[in-house]
């Protein structure tokens, strides 16, 4: 038997709880990315580079556009 990863061990350990609260997805976590998923990931990475996180003195954070003059983000 191959060595299980943490998610698989967790799923096996919580089997009784899942019997009460419902099943969880047990799909394979070690699959290859499809071309569609790669393009989606690349698109999302480009979108996240358009924003930056600003931290206030009280510790809270908010997101603002990196270039405030760029109106394409709105």
Query: Burial, 11: exposed, middle or buried (Cβ in 10 Å; 0-12, 13-18, 19+)?
Result: middle
Q: What is the pLDDT of residues 29-69, one digit of tens each?
A: 677 888 999 999 999 998 888 888 999 999 999 888 888 77
Residue with tokens 């206030």: 56
- Count up the domains in the chain and report the number: 1
Residue 30 is given by DSSP the state S
> Which pLDDT score is estimated for 55?
93
Q: Looking at the domain assignment, is residue 23 inside a domain?
A: no
Of 27 and 44, the one with more pLDDT: 44
Range of the domain at 47: 30-66
pLDDT over 70 (residue 72): no
* pTM of the predicted model as reported, rounded to 2 decimal places: 0.43
Q: Looking at the domain assignment, is residue 34 inside a domain?
A: yes
Q: What is the pLDDT of residues 1-20, one digit of tens each?
A: 567 788 788 878 887 677 77
């Amino acid at each position: 038997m191959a060595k299980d990863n943490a998610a698989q061990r967790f799923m096996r350990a919580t089997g009784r709880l899942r019997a009460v609260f419902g099943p969880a997805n047990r799909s394979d976590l070690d699959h290859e990315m499809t071309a569609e998923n790669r393009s989606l990931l690349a698109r999302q990475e480009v979108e996240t580079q358009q924003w930056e996180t600003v931290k206030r003195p009280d510790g809270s954070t908010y997101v603002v556009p990196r270039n405030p003059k760029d109106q394409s983000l709105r």
